[in-house]
Amino acid sequence: MASSLLAGERLVRALGPGGELEREQLPRKLRAQLEAALGKKHAGSDNATGPRRLVSFRLIRDLHQHLRERNSRLYLHELLEGSDIYFPEIVKPPRNPELVARLEKIKIQLANEEYKRITRNVTCQDAQCGGTLSDLGKQVRSVKALVVTIFNFIITVAAAFVCTYLGSQYVFTEMASRVLAALIVASVVGLAELYVMLQRWQQLECHGVQASCSVPRAWESSELNRSLDMIPTQSL
């Protein structure tokens, strides 16, 4: 907080011999304090701009009060031309190493808690017991099951077509009728196979979603029990 100002040349000349304040009959104590303040150089001043002196606000206030009591025609703002408010340099106290280490530890702890809170619902059973090889094995098994399903579908439709084509020779004599009947039966069998396949895939997806959703709940319950175990019995 500023409590003094850097006196300008106007105030220095006014207080000097033959200055404007000489005829104002300043009290000896006030003049001595002003001369002592203006006689001291400011430690942070620049020598290129000349010496600068610090004058406290209290002395400026006393000077202003004296001028008002004498009804002087010399105004304070005229004396303060070229003067600036002095803001002392703020010296920062050294930081306590123990406090800094404690704050860093608290920051790390808060960051870990925030990370655990964000990744709480991401935990799943596959991430705990799985790895790169297990994921690759699951992908291979899923691709193998898909290939087998498609192969069975093609074999079933082709077998239905062939059986209908060969069996329809006892009903139809023309080849076009036999091919049409075989296509109709193969289409019906193919649609039935597709319906069964879609129903099975839908059931598997539903079971997978339920299994993945049940893992975080179990994890949350275990974490809740662990937290309750850490609470002292006296607080309960």
Per residue in 102-119, pLDDT (tens digit) is 999 999 999 999 998 888
Local structure of residue 94 (DSSP, 8 states): P
Task: Report whether 200 contacts 153 (CB < 8 A).
Answer: no
pLDDT at 100 over 60: yes
Per residue in 133-174, pLDDT (tens digit) is 666 777 778 788 888 888 988 999 999 999 999 988 888 888
3-class secondary-structure state, position 223: helix
Local structure of residue 20 (DSSP, 8 states): T
Write down the pLDDT at residue 111.
93
Say whether pTM exceeds 0.85. no
Q: What contacts 120, CB < 8 A, 6 or more positions away?
A: 216, 219, 220
Q: What contacts 55, CB < 8 A, 6 or more positions away?
A: 4, 5, 6, 7, 11, 34, 37, 38, 83
Residue appearing with tokens 């017991």? 129
- Judged on CB neighbours under 10 Å (0-12, 13-18, 19+), 53 is buried
pLDDT at 69 over 80: yes
Whole-angstrom distance, CA of residue 108 vs CA of residue 33: 56
DSSP code string of 46-77: -GGG---EEEEHHHHHHHHHHHHHTT-S--HH
